[in-house]
């Protein structure tokens, strides 16, 4: 039908350490190279379509995507979960919106449906934001490991993370970043509702693959 859906990221709008709610009206202020490249891609696509007098392109901004072969901070968290290391609960104080790869694919197909009026920007996410500590717990449950979350002051973790070159990662664990997918939902898209169960299943499949 000539529609084009550009898969973008919440990084085109804010940094991983930003705390707050995100929707289609959030003013883009990317802080990292990845985010700036995504924002530049958004601008170029919209400009190209506008110069041709067309309005059938849309930006779909996604939070961290989980599923087979996932990368980024979620993959790092899963690797941490698959260790016996105790993790400081205070450094896992953030709450994050996520989205499954299947739900992201459904969002693209939904927006490609000709009967749906197309807006320039959409945000998709699972229905319920998840505490970072609960993400770790879900992965460890899938790996068959104990939770091993210990009480440790967050102030002690920050300088250690900086020394190890992991300051940005640490900031992402403590930030609360919540996406509002209500626009897509109002147009008939169905978000994921069982995020924790799916994260546990991903770790379980990974564990089974390791023992084969």
Q: What is the pLDDT of residues 84-136, one digit of tens each?
A: 888 877 667 889 999 999 999 999 999 998 787 899 999 999 999 999 989 99
Question: How far is it, in rounded angstroms, from Cα 211 to Cα 59?
Answer: 41
Question: How far is it, in rounded angstroms, from Cα 118 to Cα 135?
Answer: 33
- CB of 82 within 8 A of CB of 139? yes
What does pTM read for this prediction?
A: 0.88
- CB of 174 within 8 A of CB of 38? no
Phi, psi of 166 (to 5 degrees): -115, 25
Confidence at residue 43, expressed as pLDDT on a 0 to 100 scale: 95
Question: How far is it, in rounded angstroms, from Cα 34 to Cα 76?
Answer: 17
Question: How far is it, in rounded angstroms, from Cα 155 to Cα 160?
Answer: 9
188: left (phi over 0), alpha (psi -120 to 50) or beta: left
Instruction: List pLDDT tens digits, range 85-96.
Output: 888 776 678 899
Q: What is the helix, strand, coil percentage profile of the chain, to 5? A: 45, 15, 40
Q: Which domains does the chain have, with CATH numbers?
A: 4-211 (3.40.50.720)
Confidence at residue 72, expressed as pLDDT on a 0 to 100 scale: 86
Question: How far is it, in rounded angstroms, from Cα 25 to Cα 34?
Answer: 21
Phi, psi of 199 (to 5 degrees): -65, -40
Confidence at residue 165, expressed as pLDDT on a 0 to 100 scale: 58
Confidence at residue 90, expressed as pLDDT on a 0 to 100 scale: 62
- CB of 9 within 8 A of CB of 33? no
Give the residue from 127, 124, 128, 129 showing the smallest Cα distance to 107. Answer: 124
Confidence at residue 76, expressed as pLDDT on a 0 to 100 scale: 87
Low-confidence stretches of the chain (pLDDT beneath 70): 1, 90-91, 152-167, 211-212
């Amino acid at each position: 039908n000539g529609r084009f859906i550009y898969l973008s990221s919440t990084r085109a709008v804010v940094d991983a350490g930003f705390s707050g709610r995100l929707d289609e009206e959030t003013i883009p202020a990317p802080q990292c190279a990845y985010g700036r490249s995504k924002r530049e891609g958004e601008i170029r696509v919209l400009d190209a379509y506008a110069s041709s007098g067309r309005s059938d392109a849309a930006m779909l901004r996604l939070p961290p995507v989980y599923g087979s072969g996932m990368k980024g901070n979620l993959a790092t968290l899963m690797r941490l979960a698959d260790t016996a290391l105790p993790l400081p609960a205070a450094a896992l104080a953030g709450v994050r919106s996520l989205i499954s790869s299947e739900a992201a694919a459904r969002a693209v197909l939904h927006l490609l449906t000709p009967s749906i009026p197309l807006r320039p920007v959409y945000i998709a996410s699972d229905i319920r934001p998840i505490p970072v500590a609960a993400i770790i717990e879900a992965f460890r449950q899938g790996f068959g490991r104990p939770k091993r979350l210990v009480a440790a002051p967050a102030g002690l973790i920050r300088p250690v993370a900086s020394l190890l070159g992991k300051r940005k990662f640490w900031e992402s664990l403590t930030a609360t970043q919540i996406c509002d997918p209500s626009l897509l939902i109002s147009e008939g898209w169905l978000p994921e509702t069982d995020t924790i169960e799916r994260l546990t299943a991903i770790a379980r499949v990974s564990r089974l693959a390791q023992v084969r």
